[in-house]
Amino acid sequence: MGAGGIAIGRRGITILLLPVVAIVTAGYVLPGLVLLVMSFGVVPTRPSWAQFTLEHYERLLGDVYYARIIGYTLFFGLIVATITALIAFPVGYYLARSRSRLTSLYAVVTFTPLAVGMNMLTLGWMVILSRTGFVNSLLTGTGIVTEPLHLLYGWGAVIVGMVHVTFTFMVLPIEAVVRQIDPALEKAARTLGAGPLRTFWEVVLPLSLQGIAAGFLIVFLQVCGAFVLPLLLGGQGFTVVPIAIWEQITVSSDRPFASVLSVTLILVSLIVMMLQLRIARGKDLV
């Protein structure tokens, strides 16, 4: 009966996993395979080895313009993730440690971007940063500037918008890890003569690195794959890989090369994930 119970348990687990496997296969694996096939010039509906070519990958490797776009995208993701981590850590620490009645209010404000969504937040920032928006109206109304500033299009607007959108995804893992840190460790460090900064640097921060690393990875990948916000807030002079993919599909009608850019972005994301896991766990991946 024990063996039968184990068998039934395993069968039940398999049945429960089937919907997840089906969703992952239909939503990620199959589209990824289609992109991979298209990147080699093969038409998925009429596949033929005669269509196989590496010219699109050769174009990517031989064109400095697209190498620069990939570099911009990774740099953009690194900058946004770093800024978000610096801003989110104090908030996550406060939510985990504070017993104030205002904690619930701060939590609601922190989680608001999840409820509003990226599209609405993008439109909101377009209104706030426009020449007639809130920021320029405040600056001109108080006499700080005489002419409205160009705040909307460029790196600054996109970074501000992406930090706002991804802020919650950085706070959540940091808060979860800080909650697991025994407050007695901080009290012990203070009792032994360590000041607030040294306690934070030698006790709190090392024990919080897993949460910071998890949030950093989530934010970095979200930023590298963002399309709507960089397109609307960045303007014509701001191009990252998702925008380049969209341009290849809509403007150039070059789906194979768009697939090459998509596959490259996926590979870079996977490499970053593997490196993060290896650094965080301190051991080999295989």
Q: What is the pLDDT of residue 282?
A: 56
Q: What is the pLDDT of residue 75?
A: 92
Spell out the domains of the chain, with CATH numbers in brackets.
1-53 (no CATH), 63-281 (1.10.3720.10)
CB within 8 Å of 103: residues ≥ 6 apart: 94, 95
Q: Please, are residues 161 and 199 in contact by the beta-carbon 8 Å criterion?
A: no
Per-residue pLDDT of the chain (286 residues; tens, 9 = 90+): 444 444 456 777 888 888 888 898 888 888 888 888 888 888 776 767 777 888 888 888 888 998 899 999 999 999 999 999 999 999 888 888 887 777 777 777 777 777 777 788 888 888 888 888 888 888 888 888 888 888 888 888 899 999 999 999 999 999 999 888 888 888 888 888 888 888 888 888 888 888 898 899 999 999 998 888 998 888 877 889 999 999 998 888 888 899 999 999 989 888 888 887 777 665 443 3
pTM of the entire structure? 0.82
- What confidence tens digit (pLDDT) does each residue in 48-76 have? 777 788 888 888 888 899 889 999 999 99
Q: Please, are residues 173 and 93 in contact by the beta-carbon 8 Å criterion?
A: no
- CB atoms < 10 A from the CB of 219, how many? 27
DSSP letters, the chain, are: -HHHHHHHHHHHHHHHHHHHHHHHIIIIIHHHHHHHHHHTT--TTS--GGG---HHHHHHHH-HHHHHHHHHHHHHHHHHHHHHHHHHHHHHHHHHH---TTHHHHHHHHHHHHHH-HHHHHHHHHHHHSTTSHHHHHHHHTTS-SS----SSSHHHHHHHHHHHHHHHHHHHHHHHHHHS-HHHHHHHHHTT--HHHHIIIIIHHHHHHHHHHHHHHHHHHHHT--HHHHHHH-TT---HHHHHHHHHHTS--HHHHHHHHHHHHHHHHHHHHHHHHHHHTS---
Q: What is the pLDDT of residue 220?
A: 93
Q: What is the pLDDT of residue 18?
A: 85
Q: What is the pLDDT of residue 87?
A: 93
Q: What is the pLDDT of residue 284?
A: 42
pLDDT, the chain, mean: 84
* Angle 78-266-223 from CA coordinates, rounded to 5°: 30
- CB atoms < 10 A from the CB of 102, how many? 9
